[in-house]
Amino acid sequence: MTVASFSLQALGALTLSYFVLSFGSVIFRTFILPGKPLTKFGAKQGAWAVVTGASDGIGREFALQLAKSGFNVFLAARNPEKLASVASEIRGVQTQTFTIDFAHADDSAYQHLANTLSKLDIGVLVNNVGKSHEMPVDFVDTPADEIHDILAININATLRVTSLVSPGMVSRHRGLILNIGSFGGAAPAPMLATYGASKAFLAAFSDALAAELAPKGITVEHANTYFVVSSMSKIRRPSLLIPLSSSYVRSVLAGIAPGAQVPYWSHALLGFAMRIAPTRFLLAYIHALHKDIRKRALKKKEREAKKA
């Protein structure tokens, strides 16, 4: 056997081993490894769960399911009527609602939020509030207000709310911070450049925060998410890869673990496929997908304009 032949076989064996180990890790974390019980974070012990973007979709489900798990629930979003509606569905625990527009919240709004939260024993923070583009669009054509709102909501709101809640968790040596991520930040996202970059920021922030807070008894999880049926995704029907919000949230809360996680099983398998796909192929596929989505969205707007 020549040195070149031996080297190629060794490289092939290493590549195969890496593939098997990586896939095995996904299977283990997704289907076998048990998550931390919510009682570790104060469920049924009087603790509160703070959920941002709690008036609809994934946020609403987190509020409902955390309440069923025994947390008092603090709901924050911009629409007071929707917040009141969600709060009215919750039974057996305390609720508070707080109206805040994270896209335009100033220092006084955050100070008001800080004063309100300071009175609560917070065991869980779900940084769920988020905003994407109205439809895929090239960066040079993206409206300035859309860029502002995405950055204000996806980055600034997460940082500021976390900075309000985390000191209390540290003092109690107990807490869970759930940052709801997106596959849009896991790979370059042409035509969703600002949104994708904001979610890539969230992934890096979560990893760093997890390392800092783990010795202080705080679990930080970055829950990476593909599409879920919600008003934000504009998808109305579930499928194998696109669960209902209720199913998605149930999988997150059942598998709490520190670091980066892909809680929903089909998302985890898709994420593994994305990691092993050649970057150039993945980039071309995502770009083509977003071009198609934009084309269909524009046609829908034309139809609606004609009807009007």
Contact 121, 171 (CB under 8 A): no
Instruction: Provide the pLDDT for residue 26.
Output: 63
Alpha carbon distance, N-terminus to C-terminus of the chain: 75
Answer whether 274's CB lies under 8 Å from 182's CB: no
Q: What is the pLDDT of residue 7?
A: 63
Neighbours of 263 (CB within 10 A): 24
- Answer yes or no: are the C-beta atoms of 161 and 52 closer than 8 Å: yes
In the chain, the amino acid numbered 55 is S
- Residues tagged active-site: 195
Q: Average pLDDT across each block of 10 residues of the chain; the chain has 308 residues. List them in order.
A: 64 64 69 85 97 96 98 98 97 98 98 98 98 96 98 98 98 98 91 97 97 97 90 83 93 90 87 86 94 94 88
CA–CA separation, 190 vs 287, rounded Å? 5
| Residue-level pLDDT at 154 | 98
What's the pLDDT at 1? 58
- The strand ranges marked E within 144-295 are 175-180, 218-223, 259-261
Smallest Cα–Cα separation from 236: which of 248, 249, 245, 223? 245
Say what the pLDDT of residue 17 is. Answer: 66
| CB of 266 closer than 8 Å to CB of 228 | no
Per-residue pLDDT at 10: 61
* Predicted pLDDT at 139: 98
Distance CA 43, CA 64 (A): 13
Site of tokens 């996202």: 189
Residues facing 259 on adjacent strands: 221
CB of 30 closer than 8 Å to CB of 62: no
- pLDDT, residue 88, reads 97
Complete domains list, the chain, with CATH? 33-306 (3.40.50.720)
| pLDDT for the residue numbered 235 | 83
Distance in angstroms (rounded) separating the CA atoms of residues 213 and 220: 8
Sheet holding 122-127, edge to edge: 95-99, 72-77, 48-52, 122-127, 175-180, 218-223, 259-261
| Residue 182 marked as a ligand binder | yes
- Cβ atoms of 160 and 114 within 8 Å: the answer is no
Note whether 206 and 21 are within 8 A (CB): no
